[in-house]
Amino acid sequence: MPRKIDIFDTTLRDGEQTPGISLNVAEKLEIARQLERLSVDVIEAGFPIASKGDFNAVKAIAENVKGPVIAALARANFKDIDCAAEALKAAARPRIHTFIASSPIHMKYKLKMTEEQVLEAAVAAVKRAKSYVEDVEFSAEDASRSDTEFLCKLYAAAIEAGATVINVPDTVGYTMPKEFSNLIKTLMEKVPKIENVKVSVHCHDDLGMAVANSLEAVAAGATQIECAVNGLGERAGNAALEEVVMALDTRKDIYGVTHNINTKQIYRTSKMISTITGVAIQPNKAIVGANAFAHESGIHQHGVLAEKSTYEIMSPQSIGLTTNRLVLGKHSGRHAFAERLKELGYELSQDELNKAFERFKDLADRKKDITDMDIEAIVEDQVIKLPQHIELDYFQVSTGNKSIATATVRVKINEDTIEEASTGDGPIDAIYKALDRACNVNCKLVDYSIRSVSGGKDALGEVTVKVEKEGRTFLGRGLSTDIIEASAIAYVSALNKILYNGGYCKA
C-alpha cells in the first residue's frame, strides 16, 4: 500500500506571523472550518501562551472543529504546556506541539544553554505534555543547522519520553534539497525507534526551497509535511500547501504516496485566506495564481484547444476552479442561485443563503451578467460578519480636477445617528476624514488597494484597507460596482474591527 503523508496546516499559527496579518477569533474559526473542508490532517490553531486572543482562538477551534487533529504550540516549559493543554481541553483529537532550539547558534545566543540542558528541557517538556494528551509533537528548532549527532540524541530522547511526532524544521530556510534529504535519511537510520513515530518537516522559503525541501524529505521517508495556504508565514513564508499537495498528486510516479486533501477545495481555501488576511495572491503564483491556467501564446492556445495535456499538467477543475460562465442575472431565482453556490463548493446555512441572495439581487440590478467570480466575492465578503456597531447610512462626495474634494457622511453608531463633513486630497481622503470625525476615531491608513473582481465597465470593485490604531493593524474590505462606495464600506469595516477588538471608537 502507498505510504500516506499527513498534511499539517500552520496557516493559523506560523501563517499569522506574516508581517501585517492579525486575525481575530471569528476569522480564525472560519478559516479552521474551511481547513476542515479541505481535509487537512492537523490544524495548528495557534500559540496559546502568546496572547489572550491566541488562547481564545485555539479554545474556540478546539470546541467547534472536530475532524482534524487540533494542535497548539508551546515552548519547552511547563507554563506554555499547561496553557496549551487548557486551550485544547475540548478538542476531540488534541496535540501539544512543543519545541526548543537545537543549533549551536541558537543555544549559545538565544537560549544560553548547553546541549545537556536543552536535552533535559526537551525530555521534561515532552513528559509534561504527555501527562495531558496522548499525541505529542516535538520540534528541534533550527534542526537543519544543528549538529547531526546531537540532533539524533535529542530526537531519540524525545521519542523515549513519549513523543508521537518528531518535527525537523528548516527554520531559516537555509538548507538545500540534497542536504535536507540526507539529513532525513540520517535521522531515519540513526534515531532509535523512529519507525514508531511520524517524521515531520517544517520548511521555510527564504531561499525559495521550502516546497522542494519538503518533497525531498517525503522521498527520504518523512510522513508529515507542515505547510501554510498560499505559503504564508514568517519572513518569506512556509512551504505552500497547494504546491506541495498538487506536486504529490501530479507526480505520483516519483513519490508514490497518498494524502487526505480534498483538492477541489484548494482554490476556495486559497481565495478565502487571501480575502481574510488581505494578502493578495501574485498572478504568476503556482496552482492558485490568476495566470496559473492562462495561455497567452498563440502556440500554447492552439495546443490546449487540440489537447489540454499539451500545456496543462493538471486541470483547473482538480483544484476547484470553474469556467467563468455567465449563468445568472436579475431574473434568476433563489433555487438557481443556491444550486450555483453548491456547484462552487459553498455550504451555507439558510440565513447565510438569504443574505447572499439579497446581495446577489442588489448586484444584479446594477450589473447585467453575474459571473462566478462575482458570486464568490459576494459570499466571501459575508463569510465573517462581526457585530456592526458602525453602519454607513449615507454618503455624498463632490470632487473635480479644479475643485476641493468634499464628503458628507451619515453613520449609525449603536443607537446614535451622526452626520459629518470634511474636505480632503481627493474623494477617498475626504470621505475617510469625514468618517474619522463621525466616529471620533484617530487611526492611520497604512495601506489601500483596489482591484476589479471581474471584467467590464460594470465590474464589482473590491477595496481593501489596512488601518493602524495603537500599534495594531486592522483590515477592512468593501465590495461595490461604485468604487467610492466600496472604499467607504472597507473603511467602516476596519473601524468595526477596531471596536470589536478593543472598543476604541466612541460616538
What are the boundaries of each domain within the chain?
A: 3-277, 298-381, 390-502
Residue 502 has pLDDT above 70, yes or no: no
Backbone angles phi, psi at 208, to 5 degrees: 75, 20
More confident position, 373 or 210? 210
Residue 384 has pLDDT above 80, yes or no: no
pLDDT, residue 308, reads 65
Residue 303 has pLDDT above 60, yes or no: no
Mean per-residue pLDDT, 388-398? 92
CA dihedral of residues 85, 89, 94, 98 (deg, nearest 10): -10
d(CA 73, CA 46): 6
Q: Identify the H or E element spanning 299.
A: helix 298-306
Residue 346 has pLDDT above 80, yes or no: no
More confident position, 422 or 415? 422
pLDDT, residue 142, reads 98
328 falls in which pLDDT band (50, 70, 90)? low
Lowest-pLDDT range of 121-135, 151-165, 324-338, 483-497 = 324-338
Sign of the alpha-carbon torsion through 208, 213, 214, 219: positive
Residue 400 has pLDDT above 80, yes or no: yes
pLDDT, residue 317, reads 86
More confident position, 58 or 291? 58
Sign of the alpha-carbon torsion through 367, 370, 375, 377: negative
d(CA 378, CA 362): 11
Which residue is it, cell 545566543? 109
Q: What average pLDDT is seen over the chain?
A: 90
Query: In sequence order, what are the residues at sequence separation of 6 or more whose Cβ sits closer than 8 angstroms to the Cβ of residue 472?
Result: 22, 501, 502
Alpha carbon of 451 to those of 32, 248, 310, 326, 385: distances in Å? 27, 33, 32, 20, 22
More confident position, 379 or 274? 274
497 closest CA partner among 384, 401, 330: 384
Which stretches of 39-147 are DSSP H helices?
52-64, 78-87, 104-106, 115-130
**pTM (two decimals):** 0.85
Mean per-residue pLDDT, 146-156? 98
Domain 390-502 sits in CATH at 3.30.160.270
Lowest-pLDDT range of 77-91, 149-163, 378-392 = 378-392
Q: Identify the H or E element spanning 66.
A: none
Which residue is it, cell 500559540? 47
Cell, residue 253: 510516479
More confident position, 151 or 329? 151
Mean per-residue pLDDT, 447-471? 85
pLDDT, residue 323, reads 57
Lowest-pLDDT range of 256-260, 324-328, 441-445, 475-479 = 324-328
Q: Is 371 exposed, middle or buried (0-12, 13-18, 19+ CB in 10 A)?
A: buried
306 falls in which pLDDT band (50, 70, 90)? low
364 falls in which pLDDT band (50, 70, 90)? confident
pLDDT, residue 337, reads 82
Q: Give percent of the chain above pLDDT 70.
A: 91
Query: In sequence order, what are the residues at sequence separation of 6 or more whose Cβ sits closer than 8 angstroms to the Cβ of residue 334?
Result: 353, 357
390-502 matches 3-277 in CATH topology: no
Instruction: Tell me which fold the domain 3-277 belongs to.
Output: TIM Barrel (3.20.20)
pLDDT, residue 376, reads 78
Which residue is it, cell 492611520? 444
Residue 442 has pLDDT above 90, yes or no: no
449 falls in which pLDDT band (50, 70, 90)? very high
DSSP 282: P
d(CA 64, CA 380): 20
